[in-house]
Amino acid sequence: MDAVDHITLTGVRAFGHHGVYADEKRDGQEFVVDAVLALSLRRAAETDDVVDTVHYGELAERLVAVVAGEPVDLLETLAQRLADDVLSDDRVDAVTITVHKPQAPIPVPFGDVAVTITRSRP
């Protein structure tokens, strides 16, 4: 059995137009994404070559593209889209995605609201 290693990318900021309310879709707001990828990093460690791992710069760009893409109502849907994108890389066995919505329309003072999902290959 191969080791389970992790690549963690936190605090990726992107502007999107997601939300239940019309003004959220019209005006948009910043979202923050955290991703924890479970995969084997053994080959990358042996070769010391970026082609044998998930390039975290490219990963960040893909996450931003999803957030900036087609609007959805729910953070749950956005998180699923992000997880699906990450799992499209065959090297990734599982991913945990957290989507933060710091300017969510909540009528009381709050620090953050987020949805976290974990998905893995069947």
Q: Which residues are catalytically annotated?
A: 101
Distance CA 86, CA 93 (A): 10
- Residue 15, judged by CB atoms within 10 A of its CB (0-12, 13-18, 19+), counts as exposed
Distance CA 99, CA 63 (A): 11
Closest by Cα among 14, 17, 2, 1 to 97: 14
Q: What are phi and psi of 49, to 5 degrees?
A: -125, 130
Tokens read off for 112: 């953050």
